Amino acid sequence: MRQFDLIVIGSGSGLDVAVAAANSGLKVAIIEKEKMGGTCLNRGCIPSKMLIHSANVIDTVKTAGIFGVKARITGIDFSSIIKRATSLVDKESQGIESSYKMSDNPVLYKGEAKFIGFKTIKVNDEILKADKILIAAGSRPSIPNIEGLDKIDYLTSTDALRLKKQPRVMTILGGGYIAAELSYFYGTLGTKINLIQRSSWLLTKEDDEIAKKYTEIVKKKYNVFLDSEIVRIYKKNGKFFTVIKTRNKKKTIKSDNLLVVLGVVPNSDILNLEKTNVKTDEKGFVITNEYLETTTDGIFALGDIAGNFMFKHSANLEAEYAVNNIINSKNKKKVDYTAMPHAIFTNPEIAGVGHTEQSLKEKKIEYIVGKHRYIHTGMGMAIEDKDGFVKFLVDKKTRKILGCHIMGTDASTLIHEVLIAMKSGSGTVDDIIKTVHIHPALSEVVQRASVV
């Protein structure tokens, strides 16, 4: 058995904690069963955004005629698009692993971690023990119990980022942000997309106005089946058949590939957490307090497995606090999740922070709405963004920003001045209103929407 001061399970944002703790003088072990760098680098935000950029380039060429530019696409090299993304992320991951294989502190263990006793972990044939442990083991795609699904070779989001051949027709189960991004990528490249969603619109976690407008736009591009229950799935003669029921009517959808993107589940169930008295909630997420401490003293958790927020940037934020709370136990700090944003990299782009209008109504919080369309600004008119808009939800009395939601060109970038106002400024729309905005930069749409 080998003793450490800290053991970190997972090399995504957990790696940041391992390195910082080692630099502070702690003896650290880091355990990773898959590729180094975690979900984001290997099968999440990095490779997906590289693929999506190719879709953005295609969209630019397709719409060039609007701006008086005669351009056309003469061919799409699907394998090169995939290879560009996979080769770069694989090289980065391999570089991280090579670096830490040579490291004396932190010590890297490649293999699956399982608790075999209190604060005692087995990885491969070695047993490790530490007074402090960080669980940052992430999540994996959720696979629903649908008749026939276990008998076919369906795709998950991980598989969809590494396909060898572009499908002619793809059926996607799910209507969340991963389904939105992957349907945009494949659909823009020319794949016929079937989207199956059990709700009345896509992106149901977004502000209702955003979700409904996005659904309206997407229905013009793809076959979208809303309010649909998946009855069963089967494969015949190399084709996938998805039987759905919509308004008591059954329909069978045929495709070349079937992609299942119906959320994720935490990897807590494969760690034997009960051996070390770490408790999880009904969904399997590790229960943590505001200091990222679990139900066992000295054991912490962050990222997807803790389920506070399911973003890479939230995991990075948690890593900063985890470092402090592990090293400086007498000066622990509560994680400040103020103004935690998110973005969806589709066309149109979507970004949001804070409350949605429906959540404010549910909590009976009084608010006023400020809204402005892209097309009613100088740059919005120049780029002809006719669907884009910015929506503020504001406390009428204090003028505090309760939420902000953007759909349109560069939404993921435009949201940032709102985040700064909410996190580092007064938190009111006045921070934005009083700031001089370059004319006619696209950011004017944010300023004009904030005038309430």
The mean pLDDT value of the chain amounts to: 97
Asked if residue 19 lies in contact with residue 106, where contact means CB atoms within 8 angstroms, the answer is yes
Token pair 């804070």 is found at 354
Structure tokens at 204: 């149901």
CA Rg value for the chain: 24
With 0-12 / 13-18 / 19 or more C-beta atoms within 10 angstroms meaning exposed / middle / buried, residue 433 is middle
Which positions are catalytic? 439
Name every residue whose Cβ is closer than 8 Å to that of residue 338 and which is 6 or more positions away in sequence: 422, 423
Q: What is the pLDDT of residue 248?
A: 84
Q: What is the pLDDT of residue 247?
A: 85
Q: Which domains does the chain have, with CATH numbers?
A: 2-141+265-331 (3.50.50.60), 149-262 (3.50.50.60), 341-449 (3.30.390.30)
3-state secondary structure the chain: CEEEEEEEECCCHHHHHHHHHHHCCCCEEEEECCCCCHHHHHHCHHHHHHHHHHHHHHHHHHCHHHHCCCCCCCCCCHHHHHHHHHHHHHHHHHHHHHHHHCCCCCEEEECCEEEEECCEEEECCEEEEEEEEEECCCEEECCCCCECHHHCCCECHHHHCCCCCCCCEEEEECCCHHHHHHHHHHHHHCCEEEEECCCCCCCCCCCHHHHHHHHHHHCCCCEEECCEEEEEEEEECCEEEEEEEECCEEEEEEECEEEECCCEEEHHHHCCHHHHCCCECCCCCECCCCCCECCCCCEEECHHHCCCCCCHHHHHHHHHHHHHHHHCHHHCCCCCCCCCEEEECCCCCEEEEECCHHHHHHCCCCCEEEEEEHHHCHHHHHHCCCCCEEEEEECCCCCEEEEEEEECCCHHHHCHHHHHHHHCCCCECHHHHCCCCCCCCCCHHHHHHCCC
- Ranges of residues in the chain whose predicted pLDDT is under 70: none
Give the predicted TM-score (pTM) of the model.
Answer: 0.96
